[in-house]
Amino acid sequence: ASREAHSTTSVVEAGSLSVGGNQIGMIAGPCGVESEEQLMTAARAVKAAGATALRGGAYKPRTSPYSFQGMKTEGLKLLAAAREETGLAIVTEVVAPEDVDLVGEYADVLQIGARNMQNYRLLEACGRSHRAVLLKRGASATLDEMLLAAEYILDGGNSKVMLCERGVRTFESHTRFTLPLATVPYLQEKTHLPVVIDPSHGTGHTSLVPAMCRAAIAAGADGLIVEVHPDPENAKSDGYQSLTCEAFEKVMAECRRVAAAV
């Protein structure tokens, strides 16, 4: 992953998504796939707003076992149908090594969640996949630990790795996590892998997401991953940090202006 290995930032491509170089990847969609109507409404809206990939969890790693766990295979099928209609590449989480092949049949990008950043069997399985990987930082992981986790995937033979800062656990409780945007220039100095920011999990509050999207772009992020839900109040997961489709459209316009200015 070292910058010494490559002087230019690697470009990771997966269908409609291109991250790194001059291309800013804009991944947006619901935290979890909940129904055909919910997913398609979000997919059409984020596409119209200019997103370059659709996110949506089919396997949801939830803090409580009593919370919505995702639609699993049914969710994967809905994601593939959304790609069919919109042309958007699909980013979705895989939580177990034995699911990597199945998820890879439907998705363009395998997301490794914060809780699994150091699940080495999962990293190795993703290293054997030909799908691009979005590796999220563990909530208490150092950046060096994240880079070593990325090495597991790269060393396994998969060079299509994106790093994602999604916030870390600190003493501060006003925000769900604390989002360190210095991660962007730091990782860009240290590694050639593209860096994606997740302002949704990084703040945990819808109202804070637009400013952090703009700030991430100003800091030079190679991409954003943003939670967007047609009806956040009734979302089955993470509604409190999700943008409405209308709010996302506005954020996209703002980000385009910031990108043009920096």
Contacts with ligand PEP, residue ranges (CB under 6 A): 31, 57, 113-115, 136, 166, 201
The CB density around residue 225, as the number of other CB atoms within 10 Å, is: 26
Number of residues that bind Mn ion (CB under 5 A): 2
For residue 186, with 0-12 CB atoms within 10 Å meaning exposed, 13-18 middle and 19 or more buried, which class applies? Answer: middle
CA distance 183 to 221: 9
- Does the footprint of Mn ion cover residue 112 (CB under 5 A)? no
- Smallest gap from Cβ 201 to Mn ion, in A, equals 6
Of the candidates 186, 190, 170, the residue with the CA atom closest to the CA atom of residue 178: 170
CA dihedral (196, 228, 214, 251) in degrees, to 10, reads 140
- Smallest gap from Cβ 59 to Mn ion, in A, equals 12
Q: Which does 113 bind (CB under 5 to 8 A by kind): ligand PEP, Mn ion, none?
A: ligand PEP
3-state SS class at 189: helix
- Smallest gap from Cβ 200 to Mn ion, in A, equals 7
Q: Which of 26, 31, 149, 226 binds Mn ion (CB under 5 A)?
A: 31
Residue with smallest beta-carbon separation from ligand PEP: 113
Of the candidates 247, 184, 254, the residue with the CA atom closest to the CA atom of residue 42: 247
Q: Which of 82, 132, 238, 255 binds Mn ion (CB under 5 A)?
A: 238
- Smallest gap from Cβ 57 to ligand PEP, in A, equals 5
Residue with smallest beta-carbon separation from Mn ion: 31
Interface with Mn ion by CB under 5 A: which residues? 31, 238
